[in-house]
Structure 1
Amino acid sequence: MKFRQPFFASLKRHPTYMKLIFYFVSANVLVLGVSFVLLYGQSSKTLLEEIGDHSESLLVNGARNTSRLMEWALDFSFSSSNDSTLKVYALSDHYSDFETYEVWSQLTDIKNANPSIDSVYLINDYTNTVIDSRLGLNDTAAFYDQDIIKRLRDPETANHSVLIPRTLSLPLTGNTPKEVMTIVRFYEKGSSISAFVMNVDTHNLMTLLQNNSNFASRSITVLNDRDETIFSSTPMNPQQIAELRSHGMKGASGWKLFQPRDQGEKLVVYADSSVKGIQDWTFIEMIPKSAILNKITVLRDTSLILFLVLFAASLAVIILISKRVYSPIQELISRVMRQHQAEKPGLEANANELEYLSSVFTSQHNQIHELTEQWRHNKFLGRERFLRDFLGETYHSATEIRAQFVEWGIDLPSDELSVAIFRIDHFAEFSGVYPEKDRRLLRFAMSNIIQESLQSSRHKLQTVDMGDDHVAVVLSAPLSEEFAKELQVAGQLIQQYLSVGTTIAWGRTLPGLTDMHEVYLETYDLTQERFRFGHRSLIVKEWLPAAPGELYHLPVSQERQIAQAILKGDAAVILEVLRSAVVKLRELPYFECKMSLITLFMDIRRLIQEHSSQPLPSSWGLTSIEKQIIRQETMDNVMPWMEALITRTLEDIAAARSQSKNIALIGQVDQFIESHLTDPNLSATMLADHLGLSVNYFRSLYKAETTQSITDKISEKRLTFICQELIASDSPIEPIVQHFGFSSLNTFYSSFKKVYGMTPAQYRKKYRAGDGGGKV
């Protein structure tokens, strides 16, 4: 009794120690009991059911995900094939090299849109050619994929051309075969084999499916509803496929034990999935039963012994902890508690020592983390600020620059540096939609993509967000085609992930650190060359040809051509001269090209103004033209705008001339009517003969210009003069009517009453009474 009392009293003074012993022993006993129940209370059949159900769930999810990937490929192929450029090319019987290059570039973009796409073809049955995203233009007879040509020409196989599993021998690789799923979109099914063909890499498509399970000896097979093998991790002959189908491996989903011929018993898991309702795929996973149950049996037999040993060892460990570990821990807890109470007096300690210690450590850890993050953020901002100043301002001392490199941890050499700039295309449209915060996030994302893309290079580099529309890269790479291609790849990744096109310019290597500002400005000016090279170009200063720096002026002979075309209203001649001039402008550097284009516009403006009676609209002003050229960014965008402006202006001039001529004609007609009102033969036919026009044309022209028929006009004029005569004289009505050309009194009385709502006699009586004047 004397022994037990001090022992329990000591335990009460150390509640954490008591909990430690209690939790440790309880955990061991609990684990031992649960393991015993699970391993000995459950049969191998139950374990197999659990594994089968789990494998079925994994396979169903894998089948759905794989089907979605295939459905995406189907949607993408059909949307891509609907492109009007591809359709026209596939159904044309002739084409230019430039059209072929455009189509090949488009097919290459489609292929690069997803890594699962192996290749894309465009078959033209009218020219017996195939454009392949891999090799370009090929004759149909010499094309390496003769299998698809034969399938499309065979009516039986052509009817099953949506999802075709087949083996494709790749060119330029020693005919290495590759399993693919082929999607065909006919443009004229039944008339020709002109079609859009996309090959999807089956192995890439099935990547998620293959990673579903950790059983090394398992196999995966995918069959379509015609029992064609779409994918199989182990070769299967038709007899083996038929044997699987005969045992009911076609349904929604499930699993069963199955023993193939000459093989051991296997757990077969299967799941069905429909691809857009076009095909039904059956996914089959086979796992050897021995691979599952052998390990479970060994584990079941050894676990009990292992846990008994561990339980005995844990009791011994508890004793060692009490003697050698817990005492130092208790001392540490006491010291921390005293220090914490001294720093924060009045704070009561938690009854649980470990919880109190944990709260103290957590608080200190959070403070350290906040300080670390603040330091990192400040260092990142400081380095960004220095790099912007390094490029945007002139440094007078190389020593100062090297010191800043060391301070901000910038790993760049002191010489042989150059600058590359990634400038966003169509930035004016982007900035008009998104605020500065979003534009800053875009440049940040661009910097990360460039850094990730180029970090595998052996050359050192630093990306810099320079604001506005570009990101700069400070490089230590010498001029080489290899690194230029890496810059292009970085631009393609930006386009792929951010849907933003960029023009890339790579400037000269600077002789010293203090010249970085000058080289940066030169490189930024170099991006302006996209005006003649187009968007998404790579412009390398050292590779640009030495172009003349003189401005282009329109030859006198071409000025005469334009002047004659303006007189004739022939826009085609003017546009032809303009296009020939633009071809020569493309050979000039950006500044000379832009100024020559403005000069060309001013010459055309002068010629049009000389032959136009009206002032030209403000869109022909010098400031407006220069703004439009800058806004369009490239010559390819400027040309359609130029042609539309010229065409519209010539149409306005022609319309103005036509309107002026018609107004004069209408005035001549009105004068002729007034001078021949007393002629009973006055009519549309008489006027048309006088003017030398056909009667129908004259009637339509007069009605279009005045919105009144010529007959109504003549009648209106005669009635006006008759009304004046009725009021001014006492002459009988009939002679007045006959004098002004009305051959029929009935016609006159009907017209008069229709216009004035009364008879001529009533009209004369009313307006002679002096009650308001005559109605004329």
Structure 2
Amino acid sequence: MKLSLPLLASLKRHPTYMKLIFYFVSANVLVLAVSFALLNWQSSKTLLEEIGDHSESLLANGARNTARLMEWSLEFSFSSSNDSILKVYALSDRYSDLETYEVWSRLTDIKNANPSIHSVYLINDYTNTIVDSRLGLNDAESFYDQDIIERLRDPNTADHSVLIPRTLSSPLAGQEAKEVMTIVRFYEKGSSISAFVLNVDTHDLMTLLQNNSNYANRSITVLNDRDETVYSSIPLNREQVAELRSHGSKGASGWKLFQPRKQEEQLMVYASSSIKGIQDWSFIETIPKSAILGKIAVLRNTSLILFLVLFLASLTVIVLISKRVYSPIQELISRVMRQHQAEKPGEGYSANELDYLSNVFTAQHQRIHVLTEQSRHHKTLGRERFLRDFLGDIYHSLEEIRSQFQEWGIDLPEDQLSVAIYRIDRFSEFSDTYPEKDRRLLRFAMSNIIQESLQSSRHKPQTVDMGNDHVAVVLSAPLSDEFAGKLQVSQQLIRQYLSIGTTVAWGRMLPSLTDMHEIYMETYELTQERFQFGHGTIIVKEWLADAPGELYHLPVDKERQMAQALSKGNADTVLETIRSAVARMRELPYFESKMSLIILFMDIRRLMQEHAGQPLSSSWGLTSIETQITQLETMENVASWIESLTSRTLEDIAAARGLSKNVALIEQAHRFIDERLTDPNLSATMLADHLGLSVNYFRGLYKMETNQSITDTISEKRLDCICRELIASDAAIEQIIHNFGFSSLNTFYSIFKKVYGMTPAQYRRMNRQ
């Protein structure tokens, strides 16, 4: 008891030491306890996350590959159904045995092209017969696949004729029924059920999914966007399908744990994939949780033993470390007390050594901070505010400017002053990436880099953060290639250290200090010339021409050429015309180039609208191109955007025309025109007789489908042939005209002059030069 009293008294005199021991031990116990609890909980969770993420990746990859196989089958079905022999047979009301055999042979070739194709058949609603790739010719009433016939005759199910999951019975005894995906191509939808039908073996299609993993009791289910079962490795009733759908999100991928009714807990992995935008398939894989976590109990027991050993070792180390940590603290406190002639702990100050030391340091730090911030805040912010106002506002008095220079210690001469602006490229992306606080820090870093790289004994630049997308520099350097090179070096350093691209503009010399605002605004406008020169360039006012350029307008012959290309769907000619116009605009200053580009855009929109037959998208609005010019910043980027928009619009127009049911009829008419082009009697009446249609109906149909009259088409084709012949041969013009079906010379010369703006002889001379 006597030995313990001195020890207790010593501990009371050193409460910090006791607290160190207590805190270290408590922290150690807490960390070990929390770590064990977390590991005990996270062990299974981490394993499930790893397996879930891996299974999700495998399932998503398998889903994409399966979707590609289905898309290939879809494309193959549609391309095969376009066979003219199959079309004619499906729409004929009579046929010969030879024609039937030829159709059957083609269907057999289509089936043999891919082992995943189960069967192919052609339905003729006019003869009520079906040609099957396996059985040949069948009557529709006795055909083994009555399910598809009923679907096609029912208006409610006929609309869903692509990617139909169903069970196909076998036509032969002893063979099992097959799960298939059926693709139907109507030839006369709404008028008859004549159609091309292709059945894909679902089991072969899902081979990639079946080989994803080797877990026991694993199951795979594929659902379409109508919640129909496309494929399932195990039998599922409607309630089970609805339960899977309620847990697997449409159009998303991921994994989760869920508890099916009357079953053990499962790990569900789900992914989705779109089939040509026609259907969205959901791929769902379930794995029993017990199959994943069977061996996790061994890891938990081993971890418990390991934590107990670590606790005992840590307790010993803590006691030793606490002693070593406390001795330097006690010595530091003694030195601080002697230096500041302070009282001992317990006599007016806290008895805790650390509290006392903290109070001393806090008081000193606060005094130093207040003094430093007052001086720096007053000097730095004042200079920054003045320079920003100096550039961005108007100072009316020269004496006022000189007074401010003297007050803020700005060492700049009154002559040979100019302004350079470092403007951040791709600022819209920059704003989306960095919040305003980070943008201010980056501009501050830009200012420091510019200041350091341009600083010299002769030139003392003043950098100013002007906000938004640029930093300004007031220079006292005369115009020279050497100093322009220094501007380029600072520009490269900004890219190297901050990964920020900039465009630098250097304006003209200041006539007077009172003109600083005008020169600053003029230099900022000069940065807009990056629209012509591109990002990352240096633009010097003295190196540019002062005279403004003229606006560029698309020549009449180029506009006529583009209109003809649009009517023919010739995208290459349209894009080449745009590129040649843009090449001419690159030589213009920013304002003229921008206005010329807008004019070109409006001309293209007008011509597109004339040939589209439907309203164009909002991307063709004037506001859209003005927004793109602002955001894309350079002519090259804006031109690429216009080309991309034009290509997409032309594809949409071509697709819309291609969907018309009368395309085949128009193509047949064009072939007949090409064959009889030299016949002077070629007319709309001859064409209508050839196609078996009335003249008035055919004229209206052709005008609706092509936006052009049949007479104009014949004349245009004849003119093209005549123009080529004028250039290629030396034959007399009248003879060439008669050879290509023009019986009246006066009519031909009138049409030629109207289209080309010149006579045939002038056209021959101009194109032979």
Q: TM-score, normalised by structure 1?
A: 0.40
User: What TM-score do the two structures reach when normalised by structure 2?
Assistant: 0.40
